[in-house]
Chain A
Amino acid sequence: MRGHLLSAADLTLDDALLVLDTAQELAQIADRPIKKLPTLRGRTVVNLFFEDSTRTRISFEAAAKRLSADVINFSAKGSSVSKGESLKDTALTLEAMGADAVVIRHPASGAPHRLANSGWIQGSVVNAGDGTHEHPTQALLDAFTMREHLAGGRGDLAGLRVTIVGDVLHSRVARSNVRLLSTLGAEVTLVAPPTLLPVGVETWPCSVSYDLDAPLPTSDAVMMLRVQAERMHSAFFPSAREYSRRYGLDDRRVHTLPDHAIVMHPGPMNRGMEIGSDVADSERSVIVEQVANGVSVRMAVLYLLLGGAPLTGEGE
């Protein structure tokens, strides 16, 4: 692996399997009385969150702490950033404080790339979600969850059929998942109204359908993406009701899934919009596990980036 995790597109099959296998081993820590490993003792991990996200930030924080790293949380609200300090100056401050890794979530696509390639910091950069571009650790924990339930917890996802439904156009989770799942050998189908699919999606390694009912009977996993009702004000769909009727995963649709199929959601959910409330709480739903798996996966990422000799930022 290189010195940064900026996008799922950068992960080869071997990289992806290494992360998943490492996460597999690290998951055991959660069951021990002492949930700690000494591996990153003395390293500093900074959570640099320019967007509100308690869930992801806590997940990274738990991951870093379980590896005995020191964690510094930097959130945009109330900080100098909200008073107009630039990304560059924030980065230079962190560098002066000696951050070994910066976990960054930012509303601008490409902000982690700037951080990694500008020379402002020396440490590793982990993308925790940049604009509508990518969210690689989410895709990794999604793949980990699918592997547990559908592939016996080992190897790749060859032959698995995954359907991803929702606002693909604005979804970094969708982009990372399409990339990673196809690297792992799964077949991906995207389902959305035409307005919520990006131009050029036909070049992506997946198929596209405007009809949700068609792929469900042969899907091994269905991933529902969050859809903001406010999008109807930009005419992406006429009303929340119509969206939910045509693209929501309700009880009726869930019953068309094969018995073994799982239902996933990266959260936070809009119950009643893209996913029925009962569906979210049903036995098929692995949504809560996804959260737990997130800690193991993020521990694996931090270990692989920081646990050994310093990696350069370039090179295969």
Chain B
Amino acid sequence: MSVTHDASVTSGARVVIRAAGVVGRSERFDLVLSEGVIRELVPAGTADLGGARVIEAESLLALPGLVDLHTHLREPGREDSETVDTGTRAAAAGGFTAVHAMANTDPVADTAGVVEQVWRLGAEAGHCDVHPVGAVTVGLEGQRLAELGAMADSAARVRIFSDDGRCVHDALLMRRALEYVKAFDGVIAQHAQEPRLTEDAQMNEGAMSGVLGLRGWPAVAEEAIIARDVLLTEHVGSRLHICHVSTAGSVDLIRWAKARGIDVTAEVTPHHLLLTDELVATYDPVYKVNPPLRTADDVRALREGLADGTIDVVATDHAPHPSEDKDCEWGAAAMGMTGLETALSVVVEAMVETGLLDWAGVVERMSATPARIGRLAAQGRPLAVGEPANLTLVDPLARATVSAATMVSRSRNTPFAGLDLPVRVVATFLRGRQTYGADGDMA
């Protein structure tokens, strides 16, 4: 589907979405969007269509625009795999209206200058809001704190800080970072990976790694850091976010921490909700990712954790790579999977089709809560009169086979290629302006 930037569909123009379904309601509604907000929300067929661009949504479900806390847009530095422009187009195609861009670019986003550059690129592209994540340490080297305050005060208004890609493994540095961000309601998002236990690690350490002859990545390398960091968070009275939780033990630790009243939030990726390390037996590097795919027991625990709120949000960890970094032997391949365009489908497959979550639960975990954690006032809002018109229309009953070749992202490294998945994103709107989807009749 092509992205429309129909000149006539500006924030000022009226858009009427007719007869859409809304989560939690059995009746259908007309949504009237104008000047960036939801002007009216009335029973289907009752809205005044005069002068408006009409979008037929009789078989579609309207959701608040999705918010991703964890995306790699690769610009500056790795534009061969993705740019802010192509990455945010992919986000809009996945139903997202806001993404947080991780800091492991080149140069690293560890200064106000770089985060503002990324923020500006996002605004100019206009496909979704881009909120840069600032690095915790200079150059992601884990030695000295980066200028977190400057990044917070910059035009990019950074609130989430992460060395993602690397772990802030030095306990003292992590403590200082947790303390420092209290000053501006920031949060440290930890990539939990004890480096000494995972040197040159290739896949989950378990029965499969022993058989396949690939160096193992033990679950404890993630869990040990989480255990330490939740206790540090408690001790200094700050808040902590755990990136891409991947093991059952991690879920247990986070549950324990929350029960103690520790202010910790956690995210899980769509791929960790669906795929296991048995896929690595193909030695196809499309399955190589950090943290690695784990066992079926881990997948089960992650689903339950997402359902009961121990894990707060789904975050894609969209990690595009050029084909030469995946079209090779496992040991030489880069780690990462794309995810923006397939996120909603995979979550519905793993959680809704299995009865663990309803659509309201999906909206909470993919829109409202991520916006809250990121402190985004204008995102993740419910579909109600007066709220910003950030929403996405999806066909909840469609099924389609995932094809890497037709994806919007510049990169093709999706582990879901060939899988038949539910839900199709039909159109996305950012402050009333359409950022994805064809013109006219969508139904």
Do A and B interact directly, with beta carbons closer than 8 Å? yes
Bound: A106/B213 CA distance, A: 13
B interface footprint on A277-312 (CB within 8 Å = 1, 0 otherwise): 000000000000000000000000000000000000
Determine, out of A69-77, A148-156, A197-205, the stretch whose residues face the partner at the interface: A197-205
Does the CB pair B213–A88 fall under 8 Å?
no
Which residues of A are found within 8 Å of B48, using beta-carbon distances? none
Which residues of A are found within 8 Å of B202, using beta-carbon distances? 109
Contact of A117 among B207, B208, B282, B324 (CB under 8 A): B282
B interface footprint on A171-207 (CB within 8 Å = 1, 0 otherwise): 0100100000000000000000000001111011000
Does the CB pair A198–B210 fall under 8 Å?
yes
Which residues of B are found within 8 Å of A109, using beta-carbon distances? 202, 212-214, 283, 330-331
Given contacts A107-B331, A111-B329, A114-B328, contact A199 B216 (CB under 8 A): yes
Inter-chain residue pair count (beta carbon < 8 A): 81
Given contacts A198-B209, A199-B210, contact A110 B283 (CB under 8 A): yes
Does the CB pair A108–B330 fall under 8 Å?
yes
Does the CB pair A175–B211 fall under 8 Å?
yes
Distance of B26 from chain A, by nearest CB (Å): 49
A interface footprint on B213-240 (CB within 8 Å = 1, 0 otherwise): 1111010000000000000000000000
Which residues of B are found within 8 Å of A18, using beta-carbon distances? none
Which residues of A are found within 8 Å of B330, using beta-carbon distances? 108-111, 114
Q: Does B206 contact A (CB under 8 A)?
A: yes
Q: Which of B214, B216, B282, B330 has the most CB of A within 10 A?
A: B330
Q: Which of A109, A130, A131, A203 has the most CB of B within 10 A?
A: A109
Which residues of A are found within 8 Å of B218, using beta-carbon distances? 199
Does the CB pair A88–B328 fall under 8 Å?
yes
Does the CB pair A200–B283 fall under 8 Å?
no
Bound: A107/B215 CA distance, A: 12
Distance of A226 from chain B, by nearest CB (Å): 16
Which residues of B are found within 8 Å of A110, using beta-carbon distances? 212-214, 283, 329-331
Contact of B328 among A87, A131, A175 (CB under 8 A): A87
Does the CB pair B206–A175 fall under 8 Å?
no
Q: Does B85 contact A (CB under 8 A)?
A: no
Does the CB pair A114–B283 fall under 8 Å?
yes
Question: Is the interface on chain B under 10, 10 to 19, 20 to 34, or 35 or more residues?
Answer: 20 to 34
Which residues of B are found within 8 Å of A113, using beta-carbon distances? 282-283
Instruction: Give the nearest-CB partner of A120 in chain B.
Output: B327
Does the CB pair B210–A86 fall under 8 Å?
no
Given contacts A109-B330, A110-B330, contact A200 B210 (CB under 8 A): yes
Q: Does A134 contact B (CB under 8 A)?
A: yes
Q: Does A54 contact B (CB under 8 A)?
A: no
Instruction: Give the nearest-CB partner of A111 in chain B.
Output: B329
Which residues of B are found within 8 Å of A203, using beta-carbon distances? 207, 210
Contact of B209 among A87, A88, A199 (CB under 8 A): A199
Q: Does A28 contact B (CB under 8 A)?
A: no
Q: Does B332 contact A (CB under 8 A)?
A: yes
Contact of B205 among A106, A131, A199 (CB under 8 A): A199
Given contacts A113-B282, A199-B205, contact A131 B210 (CB under 8 A): no
Contact of B329 among A87, A134, A172, A199 (CB under 8 A): A87
Bound: A114/B283 CA distance, A: 7
Which residues of A are found within 8 Å of B209, using beta-carbon distances? 198-200
Contact of A200 among B208, B282, B328, B329 (CB under 8 A): B208
Which residues of B are found within 8 Å of A134, using beta-carbon distances? 213
Bound: A199/B282 CA distance, A: 20
Which residues of A are found within 8 Å of B213, using beta-carbon distances? 109-110, 130-134, 172, 175
Bound: A120/B379 CA distance, A: 47
Q: Which of B216, B283, B284 has the most CB of A within 10 A?
A: B283
Which residues of A are found within 8 Å of B210, using beta-carbon distances? 198-201, 203-204
Bound: A56/B206 CA distance, A: 31
Q: Which of A111, A114, A117 has the most CB of B within 10 A?
A: A114
Does the CB pair A106–B212 fall under 8 Å?
no
Contact of B327 among A118, A175, A204 (CB under 8 A): A118
Bound: A111/B328 CA distance, A: 8
Distance of B222 from chain A, by nearest CB (Å): 15
Which residues of A are found within 8 Å of B212, using beta-carbon distances? 109-110, 133
Distance of B298 from chain A, by nearest CB (Å): 15
Bound: A107/B330 CA distance, A: 11
Question: Which A80-137 residues have C-beta < 8 A from chain B?
Answer: 86-88, 106-111, 113-114, 117-118, 130-134
A interface footprint on B312-341 (CB within 8 Å = 1, 0 otherwise): 000000000000100111111000000000
Bound: A248/B443 CA distance, A: 74
Contact of B211 among A106, A130, A131, A200 (CB under 8 A): A200
Bound: A168/B21 CA distance, A: 59
**6 other A-B residue contacts (CB within 8 Å) besides A117-B282, A203-B207:** A86-B327, A108-B331, A110-B330, A132-B214, A175-B213, A204-B211
Q: Which 4 A-B pairs have the closest CB atoms?
A: A133-B213, A110-B283, A198-B210, A200-B207
Could you show 7 A-B contacts with beta carbons less than 8 Å apart?
A: A86-B327, A108-B331, A109-B331, A132-B214, A133-B212, A199-B207, A200-B210
